[in-house]
Chain A
Amino acid sequence: MWTFGRKLTVGFALSFALLLLIGLLSYRGVEVLTNTSYQVTRTHQVLSDIASLMSAMKDAETGQRGFMLTGDETYLDPYRAASTEIPRLLAELRSLIRDNPSQQTRLNQAAVMIDSLMALHKERIEMRRTGSEEATLRQIKTGDGKRRMDELRAIIDQMEQEETDLLRERAREVEATASGVRSAIGWGTAAGLILVLVAALVLNRALSGQVGAAVLHVQRSAAELQAAANQQAAGARETATSMTEISTTISELLATSRQIADSAQRVVQIAEQTASSARGGEGTLQGARDTIAAMRRQIDQVVGHMLDLGQKSQRIGVVLDLVGELAEQTNILAINATIEATVAGDAGRRFGVVADEIRKLADRMTASTKEIRLQIDDVRGAVNTTVMATEAGSKAVDAGARQFDDVAATFARIAGLVVTTTDAAREIELSTKQQATAVEQLNIALSNTAQASRETETSSGQTSQTATELAQTSRQLLSLVQAQSA
């Protein structure tokens, strides 16, 4: 599997090579075309110079002929101009065709001919000036000048033909070079397009495939990392909370331990006091025995008083029966008095009133005796209950006196056990102090652990934040490489 960078490198290298090749070919073609253009220009310059040379030669001949025919010096102006122009043209042509030996040869021949013709013209002009017109015309009629001019024309035509051939050849070269450049540009562009398409396809596949998969993987990993960080943060938070609770509990435990130590210390003190009290308890026990005996006597007295009270209540009942009987008899007497008063008629009415009042008193007395009877019965019931309760109390006091001796013996045993308790309490006090120290150390360790948990929670939060940013970056990257997945 090629890496994404390798694919990019290969793609760019191929594109670079192709562009370089196209550039080189184009440059070379342009170079060739430029050279050819320079050469064509030079050929045209050569043709122009040849034409100018030929024209100068014709001007020289025309001027020479005009002078010979007329003898007018003004006809010699073209000749003179040509005489100065021809050497310059020859020099220029020589420099232009220095790379063409055949043309140089022809130019040398032409130069010789031109020198010959110019010398002939000069000779004839001198002859015209000095000689007669006829001698001059004879000289012309020899046709030597025309022959030499024709020979020059032939050479010049050859040179023009040569240059024309060169033009044609360079036109073909230009065509071939332009065709090559066109081919290079066309095929190079096509190859470049194909290469770019292939590279784009390959890169797209690589981006959307490898990079997309990698980004998805990174996204999943980021999500897992975030979940793990959150879980870790939650765990750390719970741990911190638990640690705080445990720390609180341990603080309470510490306080409790201190309280236990204090209590144990107090237990020791109280046990010592108890031992001393138990030792001095004998006198107290004797006093308690005397108190119980006195209580027993008082209870007996209470029982006696109660029985006396019961007897007196009984006597009150007898007296009450007497009173009731008297009331009943009074009532009967009153009724009989009323009857007697009724028998006496109007005279007995006043007596009847008194009898009626007496009867009412007797009725009230009867009612009162009944109420008193009820009260007396209640008193007697209460007395009986009290007597029974007091009897039970008397028995309880007897039992208490018996148990008191047991208590005294038990006290002696307690005094012995209190010593043991004191030692045990001292051990408890010492152990509790050691326990408190250990708990303090444990509390410090727990505080450190809680601090570490809080730091873990903080770092988990940062990890979660980083994972979130990573997931976000992954999503952005994925949206960059896979627009359709967004």
Chain B
Amino acid sequence: MSTTTDALQAQLLSWRQSFDQSFTEPREKADWGDTWDVLGIRIANEPFALHLDDLAGLLPAMTPAPYPADAAALLGLIGYRGQVLPLYDLRALLGRGASTTPRWWAIVRATPLALAFEGFDGQWRLPPQDRLQQDNAASDSGSDWTVRAGGELRPLIPLAPLVERLTATLAGGRDAASAHPKA
């Protein structure tokens, strides 16, 4: 019991020192340099990563408001900071089937929409040696990069092409609806 207590005391001390250290470091160190902030997520029990620059927010999943539409990946509508955003299933968008229980929502910065996914592993700031560029054709998620974070290799999901594809699909559907209005 005392051994466990000693270990906890030591851990507490190390945390205290780390916390204090963050205040003693010089300002120049605050320059992040060439680092990427990534978010580790889990889709169909497989590790993936999202670039933090592509996102405007992260929040735990709640019950979305259902919205009748033809889009297969659309889960409903959500409210975020006074905005109504469509919620899409990221797994369905990646072509891996529908999510069973999406527990997290990520708000996309470039376009007003939200993506639901199943698991959230953490957030990391990655140096260049943890970023691997790969052949685009080799990835089923259309990713150019793979990152090493949390002890695993994670394909970095590029949200911009995904959003473009979705937008194009929605635009095509809207054009078709306007060309053939229902009676």
Chain A residues in contact with chain B, CB under 8 A?
A: 328, 332, 334-336, 338-339, 342-343, 349-350, 352-353, 356-357, 359-361, 363-364, 371, 375
Nearest A residue to B56, CB-CB: A339
Across the interface, B39 reaches (CB within 8 A) one of A328, A335, A356, A364, namely A335
Q: Is the CB of B30 within 8 A of A350?
A: yes
Q: Is the CB of B59 within 8 A of A338?
A: no
Are B30 and A353 within 8 A (Cβ)?
A: yes
Instruction: Taking A334-B123, A359-B123 as given, write out 13 further A-B residue pairs in contact, using a Cβ cutoff of 8 Å, ordered by the A residue number.
Output: A332-B59, A332-B60, A336-B59, A338-B37, A338-B52, A339-B55, A339-B57, A342-B37, A342-B53, A353-B30, A357-B22, A363-B122, A371-B8
Tell me the smallest distance from the CB of B175 to a CB of chain A, in Å.
33
Q: A335-B39, A338-B37, A356-B125 are in contact. Are A361 and B19 (CB under 8 A)?
A: yes
A-B contact pairs, 24 of them (CB 8 A): A332-B60, A334-B123, A335-B39, A335-B52, A335-B123, A336-B57, A336-B58, A338-B37, A338-B123, A339-B52, A339-B55, A339-B57, A342-B53, A349-B30, A349-B31, A352-B32, A353-B22, A356-B125, A357-B19, A361-B15, A361-B19, A363-B122, A364-B15, A375-B4
Interface residue ranges, B against A (CB under 8 Å): 4, 8, 15, 18-19, 22, 30-32, 37, 39, 52-53, 55-60, 109, 122-123, 125
Tell whether, in the assembled complex, residue A343 and residue B123 are in contact, meaning their CB atoms are under 8 Å apart.
no
**Measured between C-beta atoms, what is the minimum distance from B138 to chain A in Å?**
29
Measured CA separation A357–B22 after assembly (Å): 8
A363 to B11, CA, bound (A): 14
What's the nearest-Cβ distance from chain A to residue B36, in Å? 10
Indicate the member of B8, B56, B123 with the most A CB atoms within 10 Å.
B123
Cα distance A343–B108 in the bound complex, in angstroms: 12
Establish whether residues A339 and B30, one from each chain, have CB atoms under 8 Å apart when the complex forms: no
Main secondary structure of the interface of A (DSSP, over half): helix
* Nearest CB of chain A from residue B61's CB, rounded to whole Å: 12
Min CB–CB distance B164 → chain A (angstroms): 21
Rounded to whole angstroms, the CA-CA distance of A186 and B4 in the bound complex is 143
In the complex, chain B residues whose CB is within 8 Å of the CB of A357: 19, 22
Of the candidates B8, B19, B56, B125, the one whose C-beta lies within 8 Å of that of A343 is B56
- How long is the Cα–Cα vector from A335 to B39 in the complex, in angstroms? 9
Shortest distance from the beta carbon of B111 to any chain A beta carbon, whole Å: 15
Residue of A nearest to B29 (CB): A353
A335 neighbours in B (Cβ, 8 Å) = 39, 52, 58, 123
Contacts of A356 in B (CB 8 A): 125
Those 6 A-B pairs whose CB atoms lie nearest each other, nearest first: A335-B123, A335-B58, A357-B22, A353-B30, A336-B57, A339-B55
CA distance A328 to B120 in the complex (A): 11
CA distance A371 to B8 in the complex (A): 10
Query: How many whole Å from B70's CB to the nearest CB in chain A?
Result: 32
| Residues on A with beta carbons closer than 8 Å to the beta carbon of B37 | 338, 342
Cα A334 to Cα B58 with chains together (Å): 10
A338 to B50 Cα, complex, angstroms: 14
Separation of A334 and B125 alpha carbons in the complex (Å):
13
Chain B residues closer than 8 Å to A350, beta-carbon distance: 30
CA distance A364 to B4 in the complex (A): 17
**Residue ID in chain A nearest B125 by CB atoms:** A356
**B90 → chain A, closest Cβ, in Å?**
17
Contacts of B60 in A (CB 8 A): 328, 332
